[in-house]
Structure 1
Amino acid sequence: MFVIITYDVAEKRVNKVCKKLKEYLTWTQNSVFEGEISKSLLMKCMYELEMIIDKQEDSIYLYEVENPKNIKKRVFGQEKNFDELFL
């Protein structure tokens, strides 16, 4: 399945959340990751993120796209892929 994950976490946890998401998805924009992932890996990823965040302060939004043919992505301005910047 194709997913988009966005997050808003306290500054002291941003790097941990970003690093964890890089293990599973592509970093496309600040606080935004996307990509293909299996349901089992997604469950593992979300569990690991729950161990990092503070549920009283932080937010993670998960958008699941079961049929990626139904999603159209348009980029206005410069398209960024942070993964490629740091190779």
Structure 2
Amino acid sequence: MYVLIVYDVNVKRVNNVKKFLRQHLHWVQNSVFEGEITKAEFERIKATLRELIDEDEDSVVIYRFRSMPAREVIGVEKNPMGDVI
């Protein structure tokens, strides 16, 4: 599955969330990651994010797609993905 994860996390936790997501997904912009993952990876990512954030204060939104969605960038791409397979 292809996922897009967007988060708004307190500054005290933001580096831990970013560091964790960089291990699994492609960084697109500040607080935005995307990539192709397995169902098992998806469950692991969700479980770890629950441990890293404060659910009473932080927000993580996960979009799931069956395949990579069409993508268009207007302006400067922060972290070019190139040809992702």
Q: TM-score, normalised by structure 1?
A: 0.88
CA RMSD of aligned residues (A): 1.5
Conservation of the 8 A alpha-carbon contact between 1:29 and 1:82: no
Structure 1 residue runs without a partner (length 5+) = none
Conservation of the 8 A alpha-carbon contact between 1:4 and 1:34: yes
Matching residue's letter, 1:24: H
Matching residue's letter, 1:5: I
Aligned-partner Cα distance in 2 for 1:66–1:57: 30
Select the structure that is richer in helix.
Answer: 1
4+ residue segments displaced more than 4 Å: none
Q: What is the identity percentage for the equivalent residue pairs of Structure 1 and Structure 2?
A: 46
Which residue number in structure 2 is paired with residue 73 of structure 1? 71
Structure 2 residue runs without a partner (length 5+) = none
Q: TM-score, normalised by structure 2?
A: 0.90
Q: What is the aligned length?
A: 81
Aligned-partner Cα distance in 2 for 1:19–1:67: 25
